[in-house]
Amino acid sequence: MVMLPLYATLWMALGAVRQSRNLASALVEYGSDVGRALAGMASELTVFASAGIMVVLIHQLLPGGSQMVAAMGWGPDAVAAVPLMMAALFLLSCVGINPIIVTAILASTMAGLAIPDLSQTAIALSLAGAWASVMIFSPSLTLVALASGLPAVR
């Protein structure tokens, strides 16, 4: 989260030096461009922030929920966990719950279950695959994308 903006700033600074521009004016221009871009993404930033807050709230409302499930033996094994997690993300997102929120909740819950042989890489890849299929197949998300102008037709 920190390295990408730093890398972009370094890349822009190197481009300014190559074009024999003043580095200070290029950095000021870059900063104003970032400010304008972030102002235009207020709704997206709000969704990400609310997803993070909802995950914390849900975990506070259900303290020790994932440990309780694991201790009682109700949790799935690694082979069943991945399809269940993907199906939950797909179905909840198709009925209108934001996939960012569902993904954040599922990722933190599944990581907290500590299912044997289920790596965090498998959790991340399965959620990314389910997210991609939701974005393709969910009619509500497709309409939101079209209405927001994401596939810009000019």
pLDDT value of residue 128: 92
Per-residue pLDDT, 70: 57
CB-based contacts of 135: which residues, under 8 Å, 6+ apart?
A: 99, 141, 142, 145
What is the structure's pLDDT at 142?
61
pTM, 2 dp: 0.60
Q: What is the mean pLDDT of each successive set of 10 residues along the chain, which is 154 residues long?
A: 74 74 74 77 77 76 61 65 88 84 83 78 90 81 61 50
